[in-house]
Amino acid sequence: MDGVQLVRMINDISNFFSSEEDQEIAVAGVVGHITKFWNPRMRRQLVEYVNESGVGGLSDLGQLAVNKLEQAH
């Protein structure tokens, strides 16, 4: 799967959790979803793609989630 598609997917997930008023809970929701439903290779690809490309299209919530995923590894 390519990085652009992964960013689109994380933005869709972030969009779902964006109605949560508590940002920490929203980030945890995005990270939890990705951890539960994405395989490790997809998670690694996402983190690498975001770090290498400096993705401008990534939502703020998505960026926070990527930061958490990166810290977990």
| pTM attached to this predicted model | 0.91
Question: Residue with structure tokens 């990270």?
Answer: 31
6-49 tens-digit pLDDT:
999 999 999 999 999 999 999 999 999 999 999 999 999 999 99
C-alpha separations of 65 from 11, 53, 62 in Å: 10, 17, 5
Distance CA 26, CA 31 (A): 9
Structural domain boundaries enclosing 13: 3-72
Question: Residues near 16 by Cβ (< 8 Å), separated by ≥ 6?
Answer: 29
52-61 tens-digit pLDDT:
887 778 999 9
Question: How many domains does the structure of the chain reveal?
Answer: 1
